Amino acid sequence: MARLPVYLRSLSELATAGSSTTSSDVLAERSGVNAAKVRKDLSYLGTHGTRGVGYDVRHLIFEVSRALGVANTWPVVVCGLGNLGRALANHTGFTERGFPVVAAIDVNPALIGMTVDGVPVHSPDRLADVVADHDVAIGVIATPPGAAQDTADRLVAAGVRSILDFSSTVLSVPDHVEVRAVDLSTELQILGFHLQRDLPADRSPRSLA
């Protein structure tokens, strides 16, 4: 469930703030969702709240962490060292949360063999070796759109089963591979769509109906 990481953040904040116990109301408020949703979500973990009291923060952190597999470490390879790739490779939050960036891939001969922000850079040809050597579990695609599918194919061939795709493309992958796509331009376009909708409606397509 995509909301568990948000709950975990809210719980950590509560723990830091000194709360030892909390309610679905508080958690909902902090996580920006409905209280019933929180309770239902937590019930899937084989829930451990106390009626009339609420949830034990420490225990719930433990439960949610286990559900998310936070104990596990999933090594990440970043493919494409443009602006975004570099920012991602350099992002300290990843390692903290169990997603160390163990290598980067780029076609630029000037970068191959170098170390960028502590991350060794390899040629695409070496991707399979890199994956095998570091037990890479997740591939991040931050290449230009034209190189994205090829990169995905290489990742899949190397045995990677999870891909985070920033490339603004629709990737074709086998069923057993999970892709999550993040497209920054799309996000802005959606915001722009609503901005336009809020204008004195005489151009929006809906208003023609």
Rg (CA), the chain: 21
| Residues written for the chain | 209
- Residue 141 CB, nearest approach to DNA (Å): 23
Site for a copy of itself in 124-183 (CB under 8 A): 137-138, 161-164, 168-170, 178, 180, 182-183
Range list of H helices, 48-126 = 57-68, 83-89, 92-96
42 lies in the site for DNA, by CB under 7 A: yes
Q: How far apart are CA 109 and CA 81, in angstroms?
A: 12
- Residue 79 CB, nearest approach to DNA (Å): 28
**Binding residue for a copy of itself, selected from 39, 97, 126, 134, defined by CB under 8 A:** 97
29 lies in the site for DNA, by CB under 7 A: no
Q: Which does 177 bind (CB under 5 to 8 A by kind): DNA, a copy of itself, none?
A: none
Find how far residue 55's CA is from the centre of its chain: 27
Q: How far apart are CA 76 and CA 105, in angstroms?
A: 11
**Binding residue for a copy of itself, selected from 17, 18, 32, 50, defined by CB under 8 A:** 32
Find how far residue 188's CA is from the centre of its chain: 18
34 lies in the site for DNA, by CB under 7 A: yes
Q: How many residues bind DNA (CB under 7 A)?
A: 22
